[in-house]
Structure 1
Amino acid sequence: MSLPEPSHHAYLGPYLSTLPQNARLLVQAGATDGALARKYRANYPASSWLVADADAAQAQQAREYADRVHQVDLEHAGDTFYKHLEWADGWIFDGTLEQLQEPGKVLAQVRKVIQCDACIVARIANARYWNAPAAQPRQHLGIDGILALFEQHGFRVVNGVMLNPAPLPPAVADALQLRAAQTGVPLDVLIDDAQPSHYLIKAMPA
């Protein structure tokens, strides 16, 4: 039986320390419960927070915590939309990059306009996590796939944090040991891949 996923709020500390401080504008791709935005703006009240979400209900919910909300599908938004966000200090993908049909298309659009000292901060589900969520993300990404995705679209990953690197249950550790014996993949590699539930990635223009 799958265990409950850890609370998103446990990630606020690492998130806040990874985001740029006192940003002029942060663009959040996809609405959330607003906890991250509220915490950040409590520290930096002059910062502006913009949410882009294609879903009407989600966009309406985001108006409770964001300065501006655009109901827009980032995968189909044109150059004009991205151009007017070129002065953003950061883009946030909080569990949303892996839900896109073509995440590389969105990263390529951001890369066209992002400033050299700005960044993307993305919390991305680890497809190799031992306790897979009931609702699978559209893109199944391990750390190698995540790094390749950013590198292929003009970014360099400058920081990465493993979220929820909890000890594996004995039954999972035994299963990984068996898999290592069957496949020849070193056990420590399988364990390292299976432990994080998410990766928190900070990427900047290459």
Structure 2
Amino acid sequence: MATMKQTPAHDTVNHDLLSLIPPNARSIVEVGCMRGQMARAYLANHPTARYVGIDIDPDYAQVAEKLCTEAFAADIESLTQDRFGRLFPSDCWIFGDCLEHLRDPWALLRRIRAQIDRDGCLLACIPNAQHWSVQWRLLSGQFRYEDSGLMDRTHLRWLTRTTMLEMFQAAGWQVSHGFSRIPATAPMQDAMLDGVRRFALECGLDPDLAVQDALPIQYVFKVTPA
């Protein structure tokens, strides 16, 4: 079977995630590090920190080696217990648009929770499957995968705000910070949100919450051991 090509690499730093990394973090693990730009940005101001980058694409990991303390290519879900254990002690794990690419993010979150420092944290940016544009694709039947973005063809899991919170709670984490990333208004947005509101009313749901949950394209979380 041919290997599916990963999301095209980019050198954009997610500054929302970067701002949540504790300034006193001693050992950071970033899963889905791509070419190491987050590591470069953090280590520029915290040069004594240990920053381990992991990416499933060997080409990306090879570039990241130059910017991380250590970087390697691996399927994080398939690491042996010995190799996984060598990622600890660590006090901050980062998943920037990565959890949705995993086969079982719930299991990995539990695995990290079992070994991370008690005062450690995990940061995640997760695309919102309830975004109005995804709802439009379902309504129109135009549910087509793309090379990147909300409809990335390598997404294995589709999560909403509600199920993201359930995922963290089930894995033994509690949210200490969380906020949404809402893009600029786009064509069809107002019409779709009006439809979302009316549909929610017809279904006996909270129309204001339905609209609120349809606006973010991503959610950013900082979670700590519960």
Letter in 2 for 1:142: T
CA distance in 1: counterparts of 2:220 and 2:123, whole angstroms: 7
Question: Which string of whole-angstrom CA distances, capped at 9 and with x for unpartnered residues, describes residues 21-68 of structure 1?
Answer: 132111001122433222211221222211122322222232232120
Give every structure 1 segment of 4 or more consecutive aligned residues whose post-TM-superposition deviation is greater than 6 Å. none
Alpha-carbon deviation of 1:76? 1.4
TM-score, scaled relative to structure 2: 0.80
Unaligned runs of 5+ in 1: 1-6
Q: In 2, are the aligned partners of 1:56 and 1:71 still within 8 Å (CA)?
A: yes
CA distance in 1: counterparts of 2:55 and 2:106, whole angstroms: 17
The match for 1:66 is 68
Letter in 1 for 2:213: D
Computed over aligned residues only, the root mean square deviation of the Cα atoms, in angstroms, reads 2.1
The match for 1:147 is 165
Flag the 1:166–1:189 CA change in 2: closer, same or farther, 3 A.
farther
Q: 1:90 aligns with which of 89, 92, 109?
A: 92
Q: In 1, are the aligned partners of 2:31 and 2:55 still within 8 Å (CA)?
A: yes
Flag the 1:200–1:8 CA change in 2: closer, same or farther, 3 A.
farther
Flag the 1:138–1:8 CA change in 2: closer, same or farther, 3 A.
farther
Q: 1:134 aligns with which of 151, 169, 178?
A: 151
Unaligned runs of 5+ in 2: 1-9, 135-149
Q: Which moved more, 1:178-187 or 1:105-114?
A: 178-187
Q: 2:18 aligns with which of 16, 21, 24?
A: 16
TM-score, scaled relative to structure 1: 0.87
- Percentage of identical aligned residues: 31
SS of equivalent residue, structure 1 residue 43: coil
Question: Which string of whole-angstrom CA distances, capped at 9 and with x for unpartnered residues, describes residues 102-123 of structure 1?
Answer: 1112112211210100110011
* Number of aligned positions between the proteins: 199
Q: In 1, are the aligned partners of 2:32 and 2:95 still within 8 Å (CA)?
A: yes
